[in-house]
Amino acid sequence: MKSDTFLQTKEYAQQLDRGSWTFREEFYIKEGTYYMDGNSLGLLSKRAEKTLLLSLDDWKNLGIDGWTSGHQPWFDFSEKLGALTTPLIGAKPEETIVTGSITTNIHQLFATFYKPEGKRTKIVADELDFPSDIYAIKSQLQLHGLDPNEHLILVKSHDSRTINEADIISAMTDEVAIVWLPSVLYRSGQLLDMELLTQEAHKRNILIGFDLAHSIGALPHSLHDWDVDFAVWCNYKYLNSGPGGVGGLFVHKRHHGKAPGLAGWFSSNKEKQFDLELDLTHAHSAGAFQTGTPHILSTAPLLGSLEIFAEAGIENIRKKSLEMTEYMMNLIEAELSDFGFDIGNPGENEHRGGHVCLEHREAARICKALKDHQVIPDFRAPNVIRLAPIALYTTFEEIWETIQIIKRIMVNEEYKNYENARNVVA
């Protein structure tokens, strides 16, 4: 999409929809609702529902034999789903596993790879990262008897929105053991140059890992070819696996054979697992970094969801996502320029993730007003309204309607009817 073709009209939005592909009919979408929060929790698809019901059916009809028989045998289900995830992250099947959550997987990877030695004891992260990543890193430092105030380096932001990659690289000193970063910053939607940062870390003999929560399912990656050491993600945002859906992790093939820092039942080589020996023979794949038994009913919806991604193609998804966020930004500039809004995300395609960061001092109140108008946004303190048009199921007309509703809220000052504070869950 070129900005010089942009028109503000509803008819133009409808024209864009007619010229675009969609999987909208695959999803359960509440009539009259404009869902702009798929970067927090993706909507349920009919296929995800079907694969969940198939696992329930296996349990109902097979009991314990569901582990090895049935529609979706559970014993190697995590490996199967990991292999199906690889096209989205540019990995090899043996490098990817569906397991755990972002935080538990961070603990696993740091327990495995963070080995402070000599003066190389520090971890580099950034001050705009999602806080729970920082909680996990601090606790890992404390488990080693190290003070996070001394051994955790948080790269500062110059504008409270973005992180300068040159500043990250400058922090990569010979005292650093690991660099940990988000692929896309959760507030502003800034997309970091993962390839560049990996190259620079490895030049300095530093391991580097990424949290892909806000990029997986929204844009392509090449983790193996970029030589990224490890990564984690959740599957319930752009990948639509359901609330609390099981996450995933990537460990580069060159690290396979390394013993997991947190060993457990499913860390085992599958051929040896039921030998029940007291010494673990761990898998020589990403499967080694599992711990407990897979959560089948929280995993099963992902199979149906990944089928949709395989059909749509991540390159096509990225292209349409960029078109939708550009269209939304154009509408914001055309319709909302008189109401004190700022666009906080990068404008350039190569630096923008999958959502628009709309900033306003009354953001919390505006979000509450939007919800009463059946628009589902996402508030992030102190002043961010995140709006995520999802390539698979959002329409351009819905984007147009959303911006018109925001404009009416501002013109009529409806937001003043609400308290300017977040709800318990923002």
% of the chain at pLDDT higher than 90: 97
**Fold observed for domain 49-311:** Aspartate Aminotransferase; domain 2 (3.40.640)
* C-alpha span between 264 and 268 (Å, rounded): 7
Q: What pLDDT, on a 0 to 100 scale, did the predictor assign at position 2?
A: 45
Question: How far from 403 is each of 269, 273, 336, 376, CA to CA, in Å?
Answer: 53, 55, 8, 12
* C-alpha span between 138 and 131 (Å, rounded): 11
CA diameter of the chain: 70
Looking up tokens 């990225």 gives 318
**End-to-end Cα separation, the chain, in angstroms:** 32
* C-alpha span between 281 and 261 (Å, rounded): 13
The answer on whether 291 is annotated among ligand-binding residues is no
Give this prediction's pTM.
0.96
The answer on whether 230 is annotated among ligand-binding residues is no
Label residue 420 by pLDDT band (50, 70, 90). confident
Question: How far from 323 is each of 18, 38, 110, 326, 350, CA to CA, in Å?
Answer: 14, 16, 37, 5, 13
The answer on whether 214 is annotated among ligand-binding residues is yes
The answer on whether 135 is annotated among ligand-binding residues is no
Question: How far from 189 is each of 17, 167, 168, CA to CA, in Å?
Answer: 24, 18, 17
Q: Which CATH superfamily is domain 3-31+313-417 in?
A: Aspartate Aminotransferase, domain 1 (3.90.1150.10)
The answer on whether 132 is annotated among ligand-binding residues is yes
The answer for residues whose C-beta is within 8 angstroms of residue 139's C-beta and 6 or more apart is 107
Q: What pLDDT, on a 0 to 100 scale, did the predictor assign at position 423?
A: 80
% of the chain at pLDDT higher than 70: 98
The answer on whether 211 is annotated among ligand-binding residues is yes
Structure tokens at 271: 């051929």
Structure tokens at 421: 């504070």
* C-alpha span between 90 and 92 (Å, rounded): 7
**Which tens digit of pLDDT belongs to each residue from 188-215?**
999 999 999 999 999 999 999 999 999 9
Looking up tokens 């999409």 gives 1
| Average pLDDT of the residues of the chain | 97
Sequence spans of domains, the chain: 3-31+313-417, 49-311
The answer for residues whose C-beta is within 8 angstroms of residue 285's C-beta and 6 or more apart is 79, 94, 95, 97, 256
* C-alpha span between 218 and 322 (Å, rounded): 9
* C-alpha span between 107 and 139 (Å, rounded): 9
Residue 70 has pLDDT above 70, yes or no: yes
The answer on whether 130 is annotated among ligand-binding residues is yes
The answer on whether 157 is annotated among ligand-binding residues is no
Q: What pLDDT, on a 0 to 100 scale, did the predictor assign at position 424?
A: 67
**Which tens digit of pLDDT belongs to each residue from 146-187?**
999 999 999 999 999 999 999 999 999 999 999 999 999 999
Residue 57 has pLDDT above 60, yes or no: yes
Under 8 Å between Cβ of 287 and 97: yes
Q: What pLDDT, on a 0 to 100 scale, did the predictor assign at position 4?
A: 66
Q: What is the mean pLDDT of residues 93-108?
A: 98
Q: Is the dihedral of CA 308, 323, 221, 160 positive or negative?
A: negative
DSSP single-letter state for residue 3: G
* Residue in 126, 111, 117, 100 with CA at minimum distance from that of residue 233: 100
The answer for residues whose C-beta is within 8 angstroms of residue 414's C-beta and 6 or more apart is 369, 408
* C-alpha span between 419 and 255 (Å, rounded): 51
| Strand runs labelled E in 234-333 | 248-251
The answer on whether 103 is annotated among ligand-binding residues is yes
Under 8 Å between Cβ of 392 and 24: yes
The answer on whether 282 is annotated among ligand-binding residues is no
The answer on whether 180 is annotated among ligand-binding residues is no
* C-alpha span between 34 and 388 (Å, rounded): 11
